[in-house]
Amino acid sequence: MCANFHPASPGQLALFPLPPPDFEYAEAFPGSVVPMVSNARPRCWTPACFGLVPAWAKDERISRSTYNARSETLADKPSFRAAWQRGQLCIIPVAEFYEPDYASGRAVRWGIRRPEGRPMGVAGLWSHHPEGPARGLPEWSVSMLTINADAHPLLRRFHKPEDEKRSIVILPDGAWGPWLRCRSEAEARALLQPFPAEGLEARPAPRETRASVAPADSQLF
C-alpha cells in the first residue's frame, strides 16, 4: 500500500519524451495533486488528485480511501469498476514512496526508491470528469494499483506483522509503453507483477515533524 510518496521531479521526468509538467506539486498524500500520464490522447503530464474520484462521488473526501486499488477486486469495487472496465490506465511517476517498518515494535517510516535517482513508473487507474470543478470535484484523479507482496524479499517487511503485505505495481522501464497501450484486461493483468527487489533500495526516512498536510483520517503513520 502507499499513502505517501514524492512524485518524480521535473528534472527526473526530463528523461521521457514529453513536455515537462506546467503545474506545481510536492510530497503527496491522499487528495494531493500529482503528475500522471494516461492512455488518453494526447500524451502529456496531467495534474490529478491522488485518490480516484468516481463520477457518482458527492465530494472529494472519497480520495482518502481510493488512493490504492487492490488488483484482485478491480472488477468488483464500485469505486474502480468503471475505470477498469473501460481500460483507463495511467502511470504515476514516483521518486520515492514510504511505508511503515515495525521491526522495532513501532512504526518507523522507510523510503523505497530506485538506485541512482531513476523514477519509478507506478501502474494506476484514472478518472476524468470535465464537469468536476463546477461540482467541487477534481477534473482528473488517479489510484495506484496494488498486488500481494507476502513473498517479496524487500516489501514484505513493511506494515504490521499481522497484516497482509501489499505492494504498488512498479512497472519495468520497458513496460511503460505497453501498459498504456493495453487493449484488454488480460494484457493489463499480465503486467501486474512484483518489481525485482534488487532493483530497489530502502532506508529509514522518519519524518522530522508531525505537522503535515495529510488528512487526519488517511491512515498514515
Q: How far apart are the first and last CA of the chain?
A: 13
Q: What pLDDT sits at residue 91?
A: 97
Per-residue buried b or exposed e for 110-139, using 16+ beta carbons within 10 Å of the residue's own CB: bbbbbeeeebbbbbbbbbbbeebeeeebbb
CA distance 163 to 88: 29
CA distance 159 to 166: 9
> Percentage of the chain with pLDDT > 90?
82
- Evaluate if pTM is beyond 0.85: yes
Tens digit of pLDDT for each residue in 83-115? 999 999 999 999 999 999 999 999 999 999 999
Q: Which domains does the chain have, with CATH numbers?
A: 5-92+101-204 (3.90.1680.10)
Residue 30 has which C-alpha cell?
A: 491522499
CB 205, CB 112: distance < 8 Å: no
